[in-house]
Structure 1
Amino acid sequence: MKPILRNIIAVIVGLILGSTVNMILITIGNSMFPIEGIDINDMNAYASIMPTLEAHYFLFPFLGHAIGTFIGALVAAVIPVSYKMKFALGIGCFFLLGGIYMNYLLPGPTWFTVADIVLAYIPMAWLGGKLALKFSKKS
């Protein structure tokens, strides 16, 4: 397979798998810790209650962002022939932009916003890239 095609596939598969893992974890969190009396599909109502939520409501969103980014970056770094870490970090940057946007739409407590932006994206993409590099050195 041509390298450019593998690179395109790496990005697409990394984004799809990372997003899927993210949404699965957020859905699990919403079922484990439902927010009573609010329609989570109503963005305005959801945004108004976000700053008042307790810490456990933010566990699964953080895990979704971190693990989703990690899986997406890992997959995106395993598939291409070269520039593996660049693909991993590219996925991390993409998810970081999404995280910044979501924190703008649904602003939570400052501690969560800082932890999410600083810890969930670029560091997890870097870890995914490093693990992918270890896989490729063994094969």
Structure 2
Amino acid sequence: MNPIIRNILAVIAGIVVGSIVNMGLIQVSGSIIPPPEGADITTTEGLKATMHLFEPKHFIFPFLAHALGTFAGAFVAAIVAANHKLKFALGIGVFFLAGGIASVFMLPSPTWYTIVDLTLSYLPMAYLASKLATRNRSATTVNLD
């Protein structure tokens, strides 16, 4: 397969897989760690109005969703990319980091969570995914021809 086409597919697949993992974890989070009593988590306005009720435990799943979503997307991108695997994985990390930064402006969150989320969820996870995906090249090579 043409390397350019393969690299485009790597980016698309990375974004799609990362988004699915992210949203899947967000969807199940409320059933594992119930939201605070009286919190409306169904709308952005409800989250803004009740964010003061959230305890540190309520930020575990959003962090995991961001970190594991980025990891999964970057891992897929690194496996599928024809070349420059680290760059494609980090590109997925930057994509999701941009979403994380946008989220900080849309939803108020404690400063500690913002710092932890933005510094540990995105670029470090993308880098780790790239290293794991390319650790054993023969085992992770995907033949799309």
TM over 0.5: yes
2:71/2:125 contact within 8 Å kept:
yes
Structure 1: gaps of 5 or more residues: none
Which residue number in structure 1 is paired with residue 137 of structure 2?
136
Offset at 1:137? 5.2
State yes or no: 1:7 paired with 2:11. Answer: no
Which stretches in structure 2 are left out of the alignment for 5+ residues?
none
Task: Check if 1:104 corresponds to 2:99.
Answer: no
Question: Structure 1 residue 44: deviation in Å?
Answer: 1.6
Structure 1 stretches of 4+ moved >3 Å: none
User: TM-score by structure 1 length?
Assistant: 0.93
Does residue 124 of structure 2 align to residue 123 of structure 1? yes
Query: Identity rate of aligned residues, in percent?
Result: 50
Other-structure match for 2:48: 47
CA distance in 2, matches of 1:76, 1:86: 10
How many pairs are equivalent?
139
- Verify the 8 A CA contact 2:74 2:129 in the aligned structure 1: yes
Summarize deviations over 1:51-107 as a string: whole Å, max 9, x none. Answer: 441011000000000011001001001111210000000000000000011111111
Q: Secondary structure in 1 aligned to 2:94?
A: helix
CA RMSD of aligned residues (A): 1.4
Aligned amino acid, residue 77 of structure 1 = A
Change in CA separation of 1:126 and 1:32 when aligned onto 2, cut-off 3 Å:
same
Cα distance, 1:117 vs structure 2: 0.2
1:21 corresponds to = 21
